[in-house]
Amino acid sequence: MRPDFEDILINFKKDVEGVKDIKSFKELRDKYLSKEKGIIPNLMKKIKQIPREEKPEYGKDVNLLKGQITNFLNDLEKKIELVELERKSQSERIDISLPGIDFFVGSFHPVKIVEKEICNIFERMGYFIAEGPEVENDFNNFEALNFPDDHPARDAQDTFFVSEDRYYLLRTHTSPVQIRTMKRYGAPIKIIAPGKVFRRDTPDPTHSPIFHQIEGLVVDKNITMADLKGTLEKFARECFSADTKIRLRPSFFPFVEPGAEVDISCIFCKGKGCRICKNSGWIEILGAGMVHPAVFEKCGIDSEKYSGFAFGLGVDRITILKYGIPDIRLFFENDVRFLEQF
Ligand code: DAH
């Protein structure tokens, strides 16, 4: 007997309502269309049992039913795929408001931060950065800088020598970079030279055998002490604050004449006198002076034609002042609890 195609279609529609995802869709498709057990292929196989005269009608109806169900399933498949895609994009969605995976990047050492700041100030004034090695020779570190043979700075008490004959040593200041630059490039020159320097010293809150300096050197025609003072004034205002004053006190360094020690007005009490400036209102931050003719001579620069000024400042001391650090040794202990604060 011929099955009721209407019923099959009604059941199919009911089954369709149970389709929730791609899995249940495939089950439905197999139920109706799979070659072995599918309802439609079975109907087609049954055609043999149908009386001859009913066969054409039967065949036509089965094909019609098959067409309807296949079309419906094709449409349904597209819809299900869209639903699946949407579900996937929801479940794999990236929440950009969540914090990312954190990783440790470190930070600049406070002395390097201040070194960079100071270099930037001078670079804006047209200075170039120069460099020299930490292991120097006696000529660049002392002799060409006009240190007499018996100068106490040359004593083993004050200097780390690295060769038996005491010719090679760890530079005791950045001033030898003046010599290297003048010998190499001649006049005119406008450089700053940042770097590490070394002196035999017992560490305490204000002393360390390693520390940092920035050397400055300007050589040209008609350079005067007024240029030096103006430059340092500008530097002090930029480095500390616009109301910072400077003061030059006569002092001796063998490679300059005249030489001076340079103070800034106390950045804490603005010159009134406090604990930090020991009630003087002034804080010493650098040494400076006009390049000594003997130094020019050692470097092959004509001191009749050229003049220049030089200065050397202590970066650690300025960092200590700027950040209120109680002990210079903190800079060299590499304790991250200290370093990560910058
Ligand atoms: N080199 C000197 C020191 O370490 C500092 C210094 C003083 C540098 C006077 C200079 C200068 O260039 O002119 O104590």
Distance between CA atoms of 190 and 140, rounded to whole angstroms? 19
Residue 98 lies in a domain: no
Are 316 and 263 in the same domain?
yes
Are 283 and 333 in the same domain?
yes
CATH number, domain with residue 316: 3.30.930.10
Are 276 and 327 in the same domain?
yes
Are 172 and 271 in the same domain?
yes
What is the domain extent for residue 10?
A: 3-91
Residue 105 lies in a domain: no
Which residues in the chain show pLDDT less than 50? none
Are 66 and 128 in the same domain?
no
Q: What is the pLDDT of residue 1?
A: 64
Are 263 and 150 in the same domain?
yes
* 267 within ligand 1 shell (Cβ under 6 A): no
Residue 97 lies in a domain: no
Q: What is the pLDDT of residue 157?
A: 80
Judge if the upstream peptide bond of residue 152 is cis by omega within 30 degrees of 0.
no
Q: Which atom of ligand 1 is nearest to the CA of 260?
A: 9
The predicted-structure confidence for 251-293, as pLDDT tens digits, reads as follows: 999 999 999 999 999 999 999 999 999 999 999 999 999 999 9
Are 184 and 281 in the same domain?
yes
Q: How many domains, the chain? A: 2
Which of 63, 91, 119 is at the close of a domain?
91
Residue 210 lies in a domain: yes
Residue 99 lies in a domain: no
Are 149 and 224 in the same domain?
yes
Residue 160 lies in a domain: yes
Q: Which atom of ligand 1 is nearest to the CA of 215?
A: 12
* 256 within ligand 1 shell (Cβ under 6 A): yes
Are 233 and 298 in the same domain?
yes
pTM summary value: 0.72
* 289 within ligand 1 shell (Cβ under 6 A): yes
Nearest to 209 by CA among 248, 181, 264, 170: 170
Site to probe by mutation for ligand 1, drawn from 136, 173, 223 as the one with most ligand atoms within 8 Å of Cβ, is 173
Residue nearest to atom 3 of ligand 1 (CA): 173
Distance between CA atoms of 176 and 132, rounded to whole angstroms? 8
Residue 155 lies in a domain: yes
* 316 within ligand 1 shell (Cβ under 6 A): no
Are 173 and 289 in the same domain?
yes
Site to probe by mutation for ligand 1, drawn from 171, 172, 255 as the one with most ligand atoms within 8 Å of Cβ, is 255
Are 323 and 188 in the same domain?
yes
Ligand 1 centroid distance, CA of 175 (Å): 6
Specify which residues 282 forms β-bridges with: 265
* 253 within ligand 1 shell (Cβ under 6 A): yes
Are 266 and 224 in the same domain?
yes
* 215 within ligand 1 shell (Cβ under 6 A): yes
DSSP assignment of 165-205 equals: TS-EEE-SSSTHHHHHHHHHH-SSEEEEEEEEEE-----BT
Residue 100 lies in a domain: no
* 263 within ligand 1 shell (Cβ under 6 A): no
